[in-house]
Structure 1
Amino acid sequence: MSAEFDQLVAQFEQFQAKLHRVDDQAAGIGELQRELAAMEVVATSPDRAVTVVAGPSGAIKDIRLADHAMRRPPHALAAALMATLRQAVAEAARRQAGIVEHALGDDMHLTDQVLETQAQLFGVTPQELRAMTEQAPDHVPPPVGPPPAGARRGTGRLLAAPVPARRRPTRAATGPAAQPGRPVPQPLRRRGPVIVLPVVLDHPRSAP
């Protein structure tokens, strides 16, 4: 009887421990949701021309292009943009899995599942992908400065940078342009009033 009672007590204690664990997990759900909502991952191309900000579930929050990005050929800029997008989305998925595991426990091995899926997509082994993520810098690179007015930001479209209008050269004078080897004609100037005198022509008179 005593052994059976001790077994029942042990089972009850295990049940109570599970209930406490569920309560703790439920209490952390709100904090988990807030942490996931505030999560941001910043990925930058090697030449710092493209910066992508990703959020929960790989949602793209922002795309920033540096000034020198628009000087690259279109195909090179598109390739850099796609590579940076993939990097940001993949890192966001891994970080999201880590946040969930930290709050609810690693019984589901979410991080391992994410690494395995991404390794298949990238054509590497999960161990190689894990090593690459561990070698990545922990600090977030400084964001690129805000784009100028009417430029490209988070719309998914690449807009050319505004080109300043060309100014026509102004002439120093409105008169005829000077030619090399020729003096420029000067306008005539009047010196005082002009007096017109009548001229009388002396015609010979005919004989009467």
Structure 2
Amino acid sequence: MSAEFDQLVTEFERFQASIRDVDDRFAGLGAMQQELTGLQATATSPDGGVTVVTGPGGAVLDVKFTDAALAKGAQALSAALMTTLRDAVGEAARRQAVIVQEHMGDNLGLVDQVIETQAVAFGTSVEEMRSKLEEETARQAPAAAPEDFSEQRVLRQADTPPPPAPPAPGGSAGDTFLRNLFDEED
């Protein structure tokens, strides 16, 4: 009876650990959703003439052309746009996969699946796609904050509030009445 009880206790503890793991994952879903909502990827053509900004799911948020890109003609512009669009959508998908994997764990191998799929779709190697992901991750990583803030400015010049505007001369009759009311001595 004791061996059966110990086995039941062990299984129950495993079950509770699984529940805690699921709870931990669900607790991070709000943060993951917020990161995914704010996701933006930007790609620029090699000549700098076309810039595409994409969001979650590869949604195109913005497309910009320079005058030089427009002057190259319809076929060149179309080719540059399609290549830049593909790069921006691909980056958004890779970054989305990284965010999901960070919050949900690596059990699915999601990033690897996205990289392998893109390598086939884009006609490139898995290594090249991994290299792009590493470059993007390095570009997105926040700069390390200095440990000693004693020599750092706390407020940037733009953060200082503007001085209050001087009162307008003259003003309304009500303003004049109030100024006279308080300026006169009883």
Report the TM-score when normalising by structure 2.
0.69
Q: CA-to-partner distance for each residue in 1:66-106, whole Å, 9 max, x for gaps?
A: 23222222211111111000000111111111111111111
Contact 2:52 2:62 in 1 (8 A): yes
Q: 2:132 & 2:138 partners in 1: Cα distance? A: 12
Identity level (%): 53
Q: 1:137 to 1:25 in 2, by over 3 A?
A: closer
Q: Tell me if 1:94 matches 2:94.
A: yes
Match of 1:51 in 2: 51
Shift of 1:122: 1.6
The runs of 5 or more residues in structure 1 that have no matched partner are 141-208
Distance 2:26 2:93 in 1: 23
Correspondence 1:154-193 to 2 at 5 A: none
Deviation at 1:28, TM superposition (A): 1.4
Q: Kindly tell me: are residues 135 and 24 of structure 1, through their superposed partners in 2, closer, same or farther at Cα, counting changes over 3 Å?
A: closer
Q: Which amino acid aligns with 2:97?
A: A
Equivalences for residues 128-207 of structure 1 within 5 A: 128-135=128-135, 138-139=138-139
Cα pair distance change 1:137/1:73, threshold 3 Å: farther
Distance 1:138 1:81, change over 3 A: farther
Contact residue 43 and residue 84 of structure 2 kept, 8 A: yes
Q: Which has the higher helix share?
A: 2
Whole-angstrom distance in 2 between the partners of 1:85 and 1:94: 14
Indicate if the aligned counterparts of 2:94 and 2:133 stay in contact, CA closer than 8 A. Answer: no
The residue identity in structure 1 corresponding to 2:128 is E
In structure 1, how many angstroms separate the alpha carbons of the residues matched to 2:136 and 2:19? 39
Render the CA deviation track for 1:144-177: whole Å, top value 9, x for unaligned. Answer: xxxxxxxxxxxxxxxxxxxxxxxxxxxxxxxxxx
Greater RCO (CA < 8 Å, at least 6 residues apart) = 1
Residue 77 of structure 1 pairs with residue 66 of structure 2? no
**One-letter code of the match for 2:21?**
R
> Do residues 16 (structure 1) and 16 (structure 2) align?
yes
Equivalent position of 2:33 in the other structure: 33
If the length of structure 1 is used for normalisation, what is the TM-score? 0.62
Matched AA of 1:35: E
Distance in 1 between residues matched to 2:7 and 2:13, nearest whole Å: 10
Query: How far, CA to CA, are the matches of 2:138 and 2:44 in structure 1?
Result: 13
1 CA distance for matches of 2:82 and 2:131?
22
- Which amino acid is 1:36 matched to? L
In structure 1, distance between residues paired with 2:13 and 2:57: 38
Residue 64 of structure 1 corresponds to 64
Q: Which amino acid in the other structure matches residue 79 of structure 2?
A: A
Runs of 4+ in 1 over 4 A off after TM superposition: none
Structure-2 separation of matches of 1:16 and 1:136: 38
Conserved? CA contact 2:52–2:60, under 8 Å: yes
Identify unmatched segments of 5+ residues in structure 2.
Answer: 141-186
Q: Quote the Cα distance in structure 2 between the aligned partners of 1:4 and 1:127.
A: 52
Q: SS where residue 128 of structure 2 aligns?
A: helix
- Which amino acid in 2 is paired with 1:51? T
